[in-house]
Amino acid sequence: MAEFLRRRDFLKWLTPGMHIKRWLALLMLAVAIMGLGIAYVLREVYVTYTFPPWVAVLTLQDIPRIWRGALFMSTAIGLMLFAVWKLNASLLSAFLGPGKREESLVNIIYNHRAAQRGPRIVAIGGGTGLSTLLRGLKAYSSNLTAIVTVADDGGSSGILRRELGVLAPGDVRQCIAALAEAEPLMTQLFQYRFKEGGLEGHSFGNLFIAAMAEVTGNFETAVRETSRVLAVRGEIMPSTLDNVTLSATMEDNARVFGESSIAAAGRKIKDLNLNPRDVRAYAGAVRAILEADLVIVGPGSLYTSVLPNLLVEDIRKALTITHARKVYVCNVATQHGETDAFSVTDHLTAIHRHVGEGLFDYILVNSNMTAPIPPSAAATPVPVNGATHLQEARARLVYADVVDHENGYRHDSAKLAEAVMRLHYGDARFTQPPTIAEPEREPAPTF
């Protein structure tokens, strides 16, 4: 018992908002009333019956009554707390996944309550970048909304779009897997991709979402019900429910149609468009942006994940007028075929050219340029050039080590989420700009 009370986690039971103290107090009141009733009965027996001498020793008659009462009460409180702890642990063990059964009960409840009180965060993007961000953010808040592009026309998503007429489920699937609280095996199953036979290339999750759309009658309900099945923390929404495709004008004025074709063209992109241009935004996505405390755009493929969302006019307008703090997370590495040799300035210039300036309050840039990049990626770290231009765009440039130290082509989900949350709460502990030589770079203010 003494070891139990010495544990630091014990104090978390007293944290406001845990919804524990009120019921513990009620339980103690009920036990006190029960004890009072028993005391009346014992007193009546005590004055009407003569007990043998050993009873006096057993009931500590040689100790003053005030000390006997204090001893009995403290023992009772300790036993009650221990009993409630073990009872709750026994009851909840039937509902906790294998990964949480070793975690203390108070930490599970504490983290759950803290996440429920977290800020309202909207993350906009697609692909691996968005899912990486979400995987880290779910530790800070349950009030998450992911807004994803549905313009993917390649691979499994493209086949399902053409044959079943559903919106592209690929990016939605990755977000569901990132935010799922289901057992790990269930998440692995959702991400499983068939390697042979008639289903070769298809992801089980894509097929699941497509089937759910047939069962429920529409794509948004399918996403909502799939999220419920996998215990997703937050909401996932398409930027539009319209059937859209991407088209790009290359530097040589050639026109390329389709997201997969644009990424595979391997030429510099001059202009990007949604077809049709006047698509309607999903109403829930617009509402989430307007009600958010923090909006994060990126990371992800600039032309095939980030910009397709911003090209939806109502999404862009909502970003312009929301009172939320808005952060653009720049990629840590260039992407072959889309952003070869791009700097941070080039990324922002492309966004400004397509949707205008003034969308962001902060630009979060990776400061660690030493992480190795796999040769197969054909990429280089994204440098910072033209900081003055970025300042003129009314966005503050901030630096943090947010890269995966084993793979410089990817963000680290935990480090990225921590940096974003520090920005939200105004924490000043950001690192200095990278020290590697970069042409035309000027000092930028840091937090």
What are the domain boundaries of the chain?
A: 2-102, 115-425
Which is nearest to 246 in space by CA: 158, 146, 342?
158
Mean pLDDT is highest, among 36-40, 177-181, 409-413, for 409-413
Task: Give how far the C-alpha of residue 129 lies from the chain's centroid of Cα atoms, to the nearest Å.
Answer: 12
Q: Is the pLDDT of residue 223 over 90?
A: yes
Helix (H) or strand (E) holding 132: helix 127-137
The dihedral through the CA atoms of 225, 229, 234, 236 has a sign that is negative
62 Cβ contact partners less than 8 Å away, ≥ 6 residues apart: 56
> What was the pLDDT predicted at 6?
43
Q: Does residue 186 carry a pLDDT above 90?
A: no
**So what's the pLDDT on residue 439?**
38
Q: Is the pLDDT of residue 10 over 80?
A: no
User: Do residues 173 and 187 make contact, with C-beta atoms less than 8 angstroms apart?
Assistant: no
**Given pLDDT bands bounded at 50, 70 and 90, which one contains residue 412?**
very high
| CATH, domain range 115-425 | 3.40.50.10680
Q: Per-residue pLDDT averaged across 308-323, rounded?
A: 95
pLDDT reading at 208 higher than 90: yes
Q: Picking from 53-67, 243-257, 399-413, which range would have the lowest pLDDT averaged per residue?
A: 53-67
Average pLDDT over residues 263-277: 87
Query: Cβ distance 305 to 344 under 8 Å?
Result: no
- Mean predicted lDDT score pLDDT of the chain: 83
359-383: burial string, b at 16+ Cβ within 10 Å, e else: bbbbbbbbbbbebebeeeeebbbbb
3-state secondary structure 267-318: CCEEEEEEECCCCCECHHHHHHHHHCCEEEECCCCHHHHHHHHHCCHHHHHH
Mean pLDDT lowest among 103-117, 201-215, 350-364, 400-414: 103-117
- In the predicted structure, residue 309 carries a pLDDT above the cut 50: yes
111/185: higher pLDDT: 185
pLDDT for the residue numbered 266: 76
pLDDT of amino acid 385? 72
Give the total residue count for the chain.
447
- 107 versus 211: which is more confidently predicted? 211
The pLDDT tens digits of the residues spanning 110-165 come to: 565 666 678 999 999 988 999 999 999 998 998 999 999 988 887 888 888 888 88
- Three-state SS string over 350-364 comes to HHHHHHCCCCCCEEE
The whole-model pTM stands at 0.75
Banded pLDDT at 188 (limits 50, 70, 90): confident
Across 202-218, average pLDDT: 92
The residues that bridge with 326 in the sheet, in sequence order, are 295
What element of type H or E holds 237? strand 235-238
| Neighbouring C-beta atoms of residue 131, cutoff 10 Å | 24
Q: Which of 76-90, 279-293, 332-346, 392-406 has the lowest mean pLDDT?
A: 76-90
In this prediction, residues 97-102 reach a mean pLDDT of: 52
* Top-confidence range, 116-120, 183-187, 193-197, 292-296: 292-296
Is it the case that residue 219 has pLDDT exceeding 50? yes
